[in-house]
Amino acid sequence: MSDLATLTATQLLAGYAAGDFTPLDATRAALARAEAAQPVLNAFVRINHEEALQQAEASTERWHRGAPEGLLDGVPVTVKDILLQRGVPTLKGSWSVAEQQDWREDAPSVARVREHGAVLLARTTTPEFGWKGVTDSPRHGATGNPYDPARTSGGSSGGGAAAVAVGAGPLSLGTDAGGSVRIPASFSGIFALKPTYGRVPMYPASAFGTLAHVGPMSRDAADSALLLDVISGADARDWSQLGPVRGSFRDGLDEGVAGLRVAYSPTLGGQVDVAPQVAASVRRAVDRLTALGARVEEVDPDLPDPVEAFHTLWFSGAARITEDFTAEQRESMDPRLRAVCEEGARASALDYLAAVDVRMALGKRMGDFHQTYDLLVTPTMPLTAFEKGLEVPAGSAPPRWTSWTPFTYPFNLTQQPACSLPCGVDSDGLPIGVQLVGARHADALVLRAAHALYGAGAADIPDPPELTLAGS
């Protein structure tokens, strides 16, 4: 029997169907990885050991009867501690959230994976309210990188990325309002997709408004297509959700990239200083697209940096979260988040609307761009993972996380689908990610191109070192 913790969800489901192993076997393997990695990485707020085994036993019985329930029956899934999960607290990395509440509701994405028979393995770490691009919080501490625990896993879905990387379940539910599934995917060597806004229903609505997306995190693009099939199901609680999907995101996944018009922008027109090893790895991935038949041009989308508009929208959202906090609650917050909230509270309605105007112009610019190009390719991150516990790399002058994430947050403003997949490692063995961006609603195309790169070996990187898996 293969090491079940290393298999994709697709491989697990095939094994269940063939009778090679059971959901109980796979869940035990994933729990062993989670419990071994937790003292080293701190990727989990809660490991649902007994509940997961009970769910896996029920799934095993269904498979024995030849009656699996849904598309994910028996697949271990982890859930970011931002998304509501019935029966367990959602603490959001903050001491301001009381644990003793009536946790009776699932977020839409959690409800869908539950309905499809998934095993809800663990709750993953997040910075306080998911506010930044690394994962540390006053309540739960810092999360380490599976390739070097002294470095950050990225954020804000850093716990989910670490979980997938070490084999603690092949699928994870994350959120992304400025890069929060793509940043940790790049740093931790996994795949993640920020779908088109509204494709995955969200409830409660994020304080970051229509910047915030729920997205799948997985070992490869095919697994994220499977998970997106599940979580894109309708939910009446989200008034901004998109209409029903026709067919499956797995349909046409193997059609390749031949003939696609691809724009490769290595630095967004010289705006971004990209580490040489990152640039070289991304270029090799782009060369793979060319070899697969895509028509690649090195061209920039001519995007002015929208960081000030993004800050206005982002900081205002953070201020809204904490608007009614007591002095004691504010004192318990991450001091850097407290500073962001104070800045956001000073923004006026006119400031906010001016930022929306910038956003609309950016969206039009990218809409026009995709009339010519099917995909835009960039590095996901201009650097590899830095020391954990820091908002910005040591020695960096700009104080905010947006200073080192210039390739991710613009596409939250435009609501476009964007994914990150690994394309190499640097000389320290740290993963490097390449980002594929599609026009709004072109989620299937983004997944198809990423799947082609996986098939061509572009995403083949070493597994995390054994240190994080000690005892598994």
C-alpha pair distances (Å), 98 with each of 106, 153, 177, 327: 18, 27, 24, 16
Neighbours of 454 (CB within 10 A): 17
- d(C-alpha 67, C-alpha 74), whole Å: 12
What is the residue-wise DSSP string for 108-137? HHHHHHHHTT-EEEEEEP-SGGG-SSS-EE
- d(C-alpha 286, C-alpha 132), whole Å: 29
Return the H-helix or E-strand segment holding 287: helix 276-291
Structure tokens at 275: 């580490």
> ∠48-126-99 over CA atoms, to 5°?
60
List the beta bridge partners of residue 244: none
Q: Is the Cα dihedral 284, 290, 291, 294 positive or negative?
A: positive
Asked whether 467 and 429 are in contact (CB, 8 A), the reply is no
Instruction: Give me the torsion for CA of 278, 284, 290, 295, rounded to 10°.
Output: 20
- d(C-alpha 206, C-alpha 129), whole Å: 10
Phi and psi angles of residue 171, each rounded to the nearest 5 degrees, phi first: -130, 145
Structure tokens at 7: 């298999």
Q: Which of 453, 446, 420, 438 is nearest to 288 (CA)?
A: 453
Asked whether 40 and 149 are in contact (CB, 8 A), the reply is yes
3-state helix, strand, coil in the chain (%, to 5): 40, 15, 45
Q: Is the Cα dihedral 40, 46, 51, 55 positive or negative?
A: negative
Catalytic (active-site) positions = 80, 156, 180
Look up residue 296 and give its DSSP letter: E
